[in-house]
Structure 1
Amino acid sequence: MELKPEQLAARVEDGPLKPAYLIAGAETLRVLEAADAVRTAARAQGIGEREVFEIEGKQSDADWDALEASFAAPGLFASRRLLEVRLPSGKPIKSGSELLQRFCGQPPPDVVLLVTCNEWSKRHAGKWSEAIARVGEVAVAWPIKPHELSEWVERRLRKHRLVADRDAVQLLVDRVEGNLLAAAQEIEKLALLAGDGAPPLDAARMETLVADAARFDVFRLTDAALNGEPAQVSRMLAGLRAEGNAVPALMGMLVMELQRAAALARVQGRGGNLGAEFKAQRIWDAKQSVYRRALQRHPPARWEAFIGVAGRVDRMVKGREAGDPWLGLERLLLAIADPKAVRLLATAAT
């Protein structure tokens, strides 16, 4: 039976761990928290040894050979081990699928297997995930629908011993605009500001406590572009301009994000270890899925071209090149968000 990540997290608290777990989906926060619940339960049950296998990009048999060797090897410091397989694509190659099926066919008594995936759909499921379901648990973090977000926020508030009326919950939902990570951060802040066991929050009190997570800031602007949300880009950019922001104030963060994306694209283009590059760039797990989606939309050469276009916008600001910097910036961001908009950039790679 397919579980929600929150259901899986509750189950692992109540009994001994099963031989295998699969946690998948694009809702990064829910995947991370369910995986953390498995790790916490493992520590509580005396599983002191943990190995992590990053299997991404262009997979090879060697990636899976290392995992197979670990299945067979005895633990160094503990009688039981937690082996984590991070498989962002959700699609193991044939040898990987066969290895996971063999493991589930006769799980080693000293190993608990945890597989996490960033991408998931009905097409990703196969014999390997069915094998995990037979001996363990499968949880999928399907995107939360707009009408489900209020319930998710209410559960999160209760977890932090906070109560809010319907209007207050809706205010918070409106502020975070469907961003679960932003909602989680705001609720953690509320717990600190309101205090443990605070009286129920109404809309007025919520208004005073919660920062406006839906504000038009440059961080959310660049995230919208990388996430492929052109309509959101145009709306945010108009808001920033109306608030009196200047183009130079926006360019530093954008150029940094473009340089990161270009570096990641180069590594991915040559079949390198994208996980290692994420660590080198100090990109948090919660942000990695944003970059992965962006890298799927554009080839490596185009990210280099985007950096060049950002340079042209900077020269427009300084009067060294003709053109409207706001228009140039908007076209660049729209091109990042939607490959169809690349034609707006005269010198962008196609």
Structure 2
Amino acid sequence: MAELKPGELVSRLAAEPLKPAYLIAGPETLVVLEAADAVRAAARTQGIGDREVYDIEGRDPDWDSVAAAFQAPGLFATRRVVEVRMPGGKPGKEGAEILSSFCADPPPDVVLLVTCAEWGKAYAGKWSEAIGRIGHQVTAWQVKPHELPGWIESRMRARGLKAQRDAVQALADRVEGNLLAAAQEIDKLALLAEGRTIDAAMMEALVSDSARFDVFRLIDAAMNGQPAQVSRMLHGLRAEGEAVPALLGMVAREVQLLAQFARVSERGGNLQAEMKSQRIWDAKQAAYVRALKRHGAARWERIAAEIGRVDRIAKGRGRVGVDPDDAWIALERALLAVADPGAVRLLG
């Protein structure tokens, strides 16, 4: 099997025509997303503009549509990327047969891109070996704590940043192994450092105002169905002195988008086109799809209405002697409802 490290993929993509198939798998979400983005970018560079995406999740995965996509000619007979997002990492018997069949005789107009969030030796099989024979497998193993400072330092260099070792360690301690949070902080540092070598004191000053990024992570936890993480992050934000109104803008926007997408989905509209019209990044679309499977349009409307109620509570509108705790409790209940279908009953 032609298995590559994540760092080797970009150079291969630049040096060779696209392979018929790629398997990108592993628990490091950011690395998987960026490796998949690199394949998509290479496809565009090589004139492949058509892309079809299939989310394989749940007890009744739609492998028939994937098989049909392999067999159907692309628009105007152009080459296309067929992307199979398989978070669970196991295609089952039917999926394994379809993927193996594709690899046995890959259509000349299709580049297959399979991504998995879970991976290990138990997940591999004849289907993944078949992909390896005609293409590449990239495995994004979890970055270990002792590896994180090196990962951060390498990414900072790639962004043109210089930092002392204690500054790098300070950032590693802050993000607690979350590569996405580290990447976001590094992107911010690239704007703020202004060519200076970053020491520990400067690192602390530049990353201390990270509430905006923490809210993104809070919303991601809710959308990805992680209620315990939602509660932990909310309590952390409150302990750091954040105010509910400062969080609600982005929370309200995401919930309103989810309600809108749910309406489109229930009336049989083109959900992917709607997401694209709202400028939802490809890498984020799977999180929306997972969240939408938890509730119907009516419940999303109810959650959106509850966020509006949280805003009124936080601003004390129409109430005398509002307890500051009320807004935090109401916000937590609303976000838990996003994360967990069973928590909808908590809404007032």
Tell whether the structures are fold-level matches, with TM greater than 0.5.
yes
1:146-185 alignment, distance < 5 Å: 146-185=145-184
Q: Give the match's secondary structure for 1:49.
A: coil
1:185-334 alignment, distance < 5 Å: 185-191=184-190, 193-194=192-193, 201-210=198-207, 212-213=209-210, 218-227=215-224, 228=226, 229=229, 230-239=231-240, 242-243=241-242, 245=243, 247-266=244-263, 274-295=271-292, 298=295, 301-316=298-313, 317-319=316-318, 324-334=326-336
Equivalent position of 1:115 in the other structure: 113
Distance 2:189 2:248 in 1: 32
Distance 2:274 2:90 in 1: 21
The TM-score, its normalising length taken from structure 1, stands at 0.74
Matched, 1:128 2:130: no
Equivalent position of 2:64 in the other structure: 61
Q: Aligned letter for 1:260?
A: L
1:20-39 alignment, distance < 5 Å: 20-25=21-26, 27-39=28-40
- Choose which of 332, 336, 339 in structure 1 pairs with 2:338: 336
Q: Give the match's secondary structure for 2:237.
A: helix
Note the residue ranges of structure 1 that are not aligned, 5 or more in a row: none
User: How many residues in Structure 1 have an aligned counterpart in Structure 2?
Assistant: 332
Q: Aligned letter for 1:183?
A: A
> Deviation digits for residues 133-179 of structure 1, max 9, x if unmatched?
22211123344444433222122123234443321112222444544
Q: Aligned letter for 2:113?
A: V
> Deviation digits for residues 204-227 of structure 1, max 9, x if unmatched?
343455564366864444344334
- Could you say if the C-alpha distance between residues 278 and 127 of structure 1 is closer, same or farther in structure 2, counting changes exceeding 3 Å? farther
- Choose which of 75, 78, 85 in structure 2 pairs with 1:87: 85
Q: Is the 8 A contact 1:52 1:86 kept in 2?
A: no
Percentage of pairs with the same residue: 55
Distance 1:19 1:48 in 2: 15
> Deviation digits for residues 157-204 of structure 1, max 9, x if unmatched?
232344433211122224445443443343344445556xx6754223
Note the residue ranges of structure 2 that are not aligned, 5 or more in a row: none
Equivalent position of 2:73 in the other structure: 70
Distance 1:223 1:152 in 2: 23
Distance 1:174 1:199 in 2: 21
Q: Is the 8 A contact 2:181 2:213 kept in 1?
A: no
Displacement of 1:315 in angstroms is 4.7
Displacement of 1:97 in angstroms is 4.6
Q: Give the match's secondary structure for 1:107.
A: coil
- Could you say if the C-alpha distance between residues 146 and 332 of structure 1 is closer, same or farther in structure 2, counting changes exceeding 3 Å? farther
Q: Is the 8 A contact 1:6 1:30 kept in 2?
A: no
Displacement of 1:28 in angstroms is 4.3
- Which deviates more, 272-281 or 209-218? 209-218
Distance 2:270 2:92 in 1: 16
The TM-score, its normalising length taken from structure 2, stands at 0.74
